[in-house]
């Protein structure tokens, strides 16, 4: 029914060191750091001062973006002891520092009932402190649609990039919870189907989910497998297998879709059925220089350096530390910054040989390999010439940032970075003028 021509490439798996390792719970650190989106006093309202006592789930700050508000909550109980600038992927941000009292004091929320409404679910997610990990601003924004407007639920557990096994372990160890929350959310939105997406090679996870679906006797929750071809685990690819016409630049809700990953849905399960606040996430810490790689359940606000030390990883300025996989991951500038809430992999690799860039040889390799049929070299040229008005002609915003163009380029041109920076500038100019074609 959903068969289409398969695209993508098979990457080295590099998952052998962690794929069979159960999730370990990392002991929370003494100090946790919670970044505030924007600078203190800009876009965010701080609700705590030095000396304030907090519990798990206490609101430290609220970030406002239009009518969307995102709660920044504590993952431990203890005391606010200060503020500090941290270097994150959103730039330099101020972080609230909480000293852990190791008591894990938490005021539980009231679990939701079977007859809960969409509004009830949105409120529960907001109070739980869930912050989205997708192309939306927040889980609250994604869920804030009316009943009947969502046709399909997607819970993504597929990992086609090498190294990471966090989603796989969540699927295996929390199969009952993932299937149950899939059906619960599907019913709330009166959706046609809920898809739990997995890589077909991940046989243990596929078996665990399919067995649980049969056990719960559900016919509208589907274990949906994809080939282990990168970047078929991208949200756009997965949605297009059902909707066919979905565009990368289109919002999920406009397409009638709710899309998030299994770790986020595990947190939604905990909020809905247990009344727990969002406080932890599973992260794979691995790589060629990691002596003891692990799948760790760690508290939000944990420093990246703490995770690396937990896995006996040498810390050296010459090594490469990446948030994410080798294709779509980002270099980590400061190891003493908190891990982003959307992260599922911290990768540590030895120094890489720098590739010397040369002139384009006009091989068209980047055009052939592009999963969304763009012309990366033309977009990169427009970036270098600051021709931002060409974004519509080149359809640049459809880029899924998979990195295949850079990976395949024989001239070692970092096309993915230049396309990304081109689109960032386009978005900046569009937002500045508040109109679609502001830069024309």
Q: Render pLDDT for 17-37 as a digit per residue (tens, 0 to 9).
A: 999 999 999 999 999 999 886
The sign of the torsion formed by the CA atoms of 215, 219, 220, 221 equals: positive
Tens of pLDDT, residues 181-225? 999 999 999 999 999 999 999 999 999 999 999 999 999 999 999
Q: Where in the chain is the domain with CATH 2.40.50.100?
A: 28-100
User: Which pLDDT value is given to residue 296?
Assistant: 98
Query: In percent, how much of the chain has pLDDT > 90?
Result: 67
Q: Which CATH architecture has domain 1-27+103-352?
A: 3-Layer(aba) Sandwich (3.40)
Q: Where in the chain is the domain with CATH 3.40.50.11540?
A: 1-27+103-352
User: Domain 28-100 carries which CATH code?
Assistant: 2.40.50.100
Angstrom distance (rounded) from CA 197 to CA 262: 9
- The DSSP call for residue 351 is P
Total residues found in the chain within this entry: 440
Examine the pLDDT at 231 and tell me if it is beyond 60: yes
Angstrom distance (rounded) from CA 157 to CA 259: 11
Examine the pLDDT at 398 and tell me if it is beyond 60: yes
- The DSSP call for residue 276 is P
State the pairing for strand pair 280-286/294-299. antiparallel
pTM: 0.89
Question: For 349, what's the count of Cα atoms within 13 Å in the CB-facing half-sphere?
Answer: 18
């Amino acid at each position: 029914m959903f068969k289409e021509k398969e695209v993508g490439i098979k990457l080295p798996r590099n998952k052998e060191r962690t794929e069979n390792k159960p999730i370990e719970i990392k002991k929370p650190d003494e100090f946790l750091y919670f970044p505030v989106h924007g600078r203190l006093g800009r876009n965010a309202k701080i609700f705590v001062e030095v000396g304030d006592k907090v519990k798990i789930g206490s609101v430290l700050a609220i970030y406002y973006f239009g009518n969307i508000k995102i709660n920044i909550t504590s993952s431990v109980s203890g005391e606010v002891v200060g503020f500090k600038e941290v270097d994150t992927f959103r730039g330099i941000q101020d972080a609230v520092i909480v000293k852990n009292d190791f008591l894990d004091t938490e005021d539980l929320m009231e679990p939701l009932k079977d007859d809960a409404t969409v509004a009830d679910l949105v409120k529960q997610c907001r109070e739980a402190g869930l912050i989205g990990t997708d192309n939306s601003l927040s889980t609250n924004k994604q869920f804030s649609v009316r009943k009947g407007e969502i046709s399909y639920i997607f819970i993504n557990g597929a990992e086609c990039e090498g190294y990471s096994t966090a989603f796989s372990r969540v699927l295996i160890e929390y199969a009952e919870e993932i299937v149950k929350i899939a059906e619960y959310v599907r019913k709330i939105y009166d959706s046609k189907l809920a898809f739990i997406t997995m890589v077909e090679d991940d046989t243990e996870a596929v078996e665990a989910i399919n067995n649980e679906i049969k056990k719960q006797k559900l016919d509208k929750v589907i274990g949906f497998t994809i080939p282990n071809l990168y970047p078929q685990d991208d949200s756009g690819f997965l949605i297009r297998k059902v909707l066919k016409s979905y565009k990368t630049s289109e919002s999920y809700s406009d397409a009638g879709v709710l899309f998030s990953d299994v770790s986020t849905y595990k947190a939604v399960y905990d909020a809905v059925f247990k009344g727990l606040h969002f406080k932890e996430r599973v992260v794979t810490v691995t790589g060629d220089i990691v002596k003891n790689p692990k799948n760790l359940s760690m508290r939000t606000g944990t420093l990246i350096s703490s995770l690396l030390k937990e896995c006996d990883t040498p810390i050296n300025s010459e090594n490469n530390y990446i948030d994410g996989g080798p294709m779509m991951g980002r270099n980590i500038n400061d190891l003493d910054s908190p891990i982003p809430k959307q992260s599922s992999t911290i990768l540590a690799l030895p120094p890489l040989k720098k590739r010397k860039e040369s002139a384009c040889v006009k091989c068209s390799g980047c055009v052939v390999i592009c999963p969304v049929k763009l012309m990366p070299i033309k977009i990169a040229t427009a970036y270098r010439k600051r021709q931002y008005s060409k974004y519509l002609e080149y359809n640049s915003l459809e880029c899924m940032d998979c990195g295949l163009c850079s990976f395949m380029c024989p001239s070692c041109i970092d096309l993915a970075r230049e396309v990304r920076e081109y689109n960032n500038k386009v978005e900046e100019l569009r937002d500045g003028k508040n109109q679609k074609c502001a830069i024309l």
